[in-house]
């Protein structure tokens, strides 16, 4: 068996174990990366194709070390990881500041009609998740949803899980929305502002908001049958506006970096990380936190995803260097016919199911390069297939109540509120809107980007 197929088997086993044991997925990606590098060093040139300059030197030590050097230096997208880490810290500080919660309470306080207020909850949750991520947005909106439901005397289960589904939809809407949006931006070369307009076309942010509006209207009509009465919105006091200013500075820095021909590829990552460090210093010094509180704040951040992605990048790098991506792309092209619409639908639908039942981070890292090759084979001029892949997988996480961190967090809140939900009830009450949002997103993406 060729070494590249051994690497593919390692990637497949890692993926299965990561899905089956999600809480320990970082161990599986790290172990897979270690095995990949070890095989590359034991069999130089078999797994990682060696550059001509190293072959010309005929240095066996250099050949063996190439697997490690390429994996750590090239395969791992350090700039992306630094940006992701910095934004993760800044969005956590933003949630701490209570600014998003204040904006939501002000929005709800202007409307006294329950059904319309529910629509506003969905819209505000979606917009928040586009800019701070699905999980932080749900953390902000969950108390609002539970309080709203209790006051109007109905079960908050479907309402909260529907909000979680809406938050999941926004995973591809903006640069800060999710790991998926970061990966798509890195793969496609899309800068932050390209999520609004790209090549003169309406981009993913506005497409996602159209799908969000369709889902919000459905939920409003659906819940209006049972939601009656009056409610009040609790007042929220803002802790500080500093995190908002830091996040705004981050946006400005990322836009400036994308518009400047800078040779140092890590400049945007270092810049965002430095801003995040200033944010942490503000949190510790000016918010007068103890060392225990400071480290507790850091501990609650999603470090697992950061280290998880490092391992997957290394595995993906080996698959790319060994030619597996080209082979997989050839298989897809040979079995999907010549219709561009057919391949678009296949990629979108498969990605929805992947998001519904699997872990989308390795799915995107491992298969997005394959989709890039397929896209060239079908003559697509833009990144429509990659966008379909990212959008489908993000929307798919809202198709089931147990795959994403956002959904699991919603279920955890409901458990504390002694609210149970059966899978059949989920299928009847929440899934239809998720299907509507997916359909609207796919149709608009095809007609606007094809």
Per-residue model confidence (pLDDT) at position 153: 74
Q: In the chain, pLDDT over 70 holds for what percent of residues?
A: 95
DSSP structure string for 208-258: HHHHHHHHHHHHHHHHTTT--S-----------SHHHHHHHHHHHHHHHHH
Greater model confidence, 120 or 227: 120
Q: Is 197 helix (H, G, I), strand (E, B) or coil?
A: strand
For residue range 416-429, list pLDDT tens digits in order.
877 777 777 677 77
How do residues 276-299 score in pLDDT, each as one tens digit? Answer: 999 999 999 999 999 999 999 999
In this prediction, residues 31-56 reach a mean pLDDT of 87
C-alpha pair distances (Å), 37 with each of 6, 42, 50, 299, 381: 13, 9, 14, 29, 35
Tell me what pLDDT residue 228 has: 65
Residues in the chain: 450
| Cβ contacts of 345 within 8 Å, gap of 6 or more | 442
Q: Where are the domains of the chain?
A: 3-75, 78-449
* Closest by Cα among 352, 334, 354 to 439: 352
pLDDT one-digit tens code per residue, 69-78:
999 988 999 9
The CA-atom distances, in angstroms, between 317 and each of 254, 328, 377, 443 are 26, 15, 21, 33
pLDDT score recorded for residue 392: 93
Q: In the predicted model, what is the mean pLDDT of residues 328-353?
A: 89
Among the residue ranges 107-111, 173-177, 228-232, the one predicted with the least confidence is 228-232
**Spacing of C-alpha 169 from chain mean position:** 10
Q: So what's the pLDDT on residue 102?
A: 84
CA 166 – CA 209 distance, rounded (Å): 10
Is residue 59 pLDDT above 80, yes or no? no
Q: Please state the separation of Cα 57 from the chain's center in Å.
A: 43
The H or E element spanning position 202 is strand 201-202
Distance CA 292, CA 326 (A): 50
Does residue 233 surpass a pLDDT of 70? no
The CA distance from 424 to 77, in Å, is 41
Chain mean position to CA 209:
16
Crossing angle between the packed helical segments 3-20 and 324-335, to the nearest 10 degrees: 80
Tell me the pLDDT of the chain averaged across its residues.
Answer: 87
Both structure tokens of 212? 């969000």
Structure tokens at 242: 């500093």
DSSP secondary structure letter of residue 420: -
Band of the pLDDT at 402, cuts 50, 70, 90? low
Cβ contacts of 3 within 8 Å, gap of 6 or more: 39, 43, 46, 47, 322
* Cα distance between residue 113 and residue 115, in whole Å: 6
The dihedral region occupied by 400, where left means phi > 0, alpha psi between -120 and 50, and beta the remainder, is beta
b/e map 217-241, b = 16+ CB within 10 Å:
ebbbebbeeebeeeeebeebeeebe
| 197 strand-pairing partners | 202
CB 32, CB 317: distance < 8 Å: no
pLDDT at 229: 60
Share of the chain above pLDDT 90, in %: 39
């Amino acid at each position: 068996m060729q070494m590249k197929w051994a690497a593919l088997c390692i990637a497949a086993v890692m993926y299965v174990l990561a899905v089956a044991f999600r809480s320990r997925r970082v161990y599986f990606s790290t172990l897979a990366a270690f095995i990949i590098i070890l095989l590359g060093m034991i069999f130089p040139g078999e797994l990682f194709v060696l550059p001509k300059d190293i072959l010309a030197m005929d240095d066996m030590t250099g050949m063996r070390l190439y697997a490690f050097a390429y994996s750590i230096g090239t395969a791992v997208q350090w700039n992306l990881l630094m940006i992701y880490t910095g934004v993760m810290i800044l969005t956590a500080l933003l949630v701490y500041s209570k600014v998003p919660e204040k904006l939501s309470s002000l929005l709800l306080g202007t409307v006294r009609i329950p059904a319309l207020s529910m629509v506003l909850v969905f819209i505000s949750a979606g917009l928040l998740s586009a800019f701070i991520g699905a999980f932080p947005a749900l953390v902000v909106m969950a108390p609002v949803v539970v309080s709203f439901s209790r006051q109007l005397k109905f079960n908050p289960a479907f309402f909260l899980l529907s909000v979680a589904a809406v938050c999941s939809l926004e995973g591809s809407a903006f640069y800060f929305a999710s790991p998926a949006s970061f990966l798509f931006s890195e793969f496609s070369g899309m800068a932050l502002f390209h999520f609004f307009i790209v090549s003169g076309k309406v981009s993913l942010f506005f497409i996602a908001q159209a799908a969000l509006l369709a889902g919000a209207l459905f939920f409003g009509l659906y819940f209006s049958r049972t939601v009656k009465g009056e409610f009040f919105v609790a007042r929220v006091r803002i802790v500080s506006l500093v995190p908002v200013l830091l996040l705004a500075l981050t946006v400005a820095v990322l836009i400036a970096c994308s518009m400047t021909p800078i040779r140092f590829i890590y400049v945007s990552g270092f810049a965002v990380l430095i801003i995040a460090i200033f944010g942490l210093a503000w949190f510790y010094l000016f918010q007068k936190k103890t060392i225990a509180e400071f480290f507790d704040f850091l501990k609650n951040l999603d470090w697992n995803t950061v280290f998880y992605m490092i391992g997957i990048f290394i595995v993906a790098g080996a698959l790319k260097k060994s030619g597996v991506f080209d082979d997989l792309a050839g298989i897809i092209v040979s079995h999907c016919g010549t219709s561009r619409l057919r391949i678009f639908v296949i990629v979108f639908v498969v990605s929805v199911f992947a998001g519904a039942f699997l872990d989308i981070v390795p799915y995107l890292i491992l298969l997005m390069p394959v989709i890039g090759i397929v896209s060239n084979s079908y003559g697509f001029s833009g990144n429509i297939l990659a966008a379909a892949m990212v959008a489908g997988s993000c929307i798919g996480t809202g198709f089931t109540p147990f795959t994403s961190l956002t959904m699991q967090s919603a279920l955890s809140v409901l458990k504390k509120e002694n609210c149970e939900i059966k899978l059949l009830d989920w299928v009847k009450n929440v899934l239809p809107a998720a299907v509507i949002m997916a359909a609207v997103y796919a149709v608009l993406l095809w007609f606007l980007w094809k």
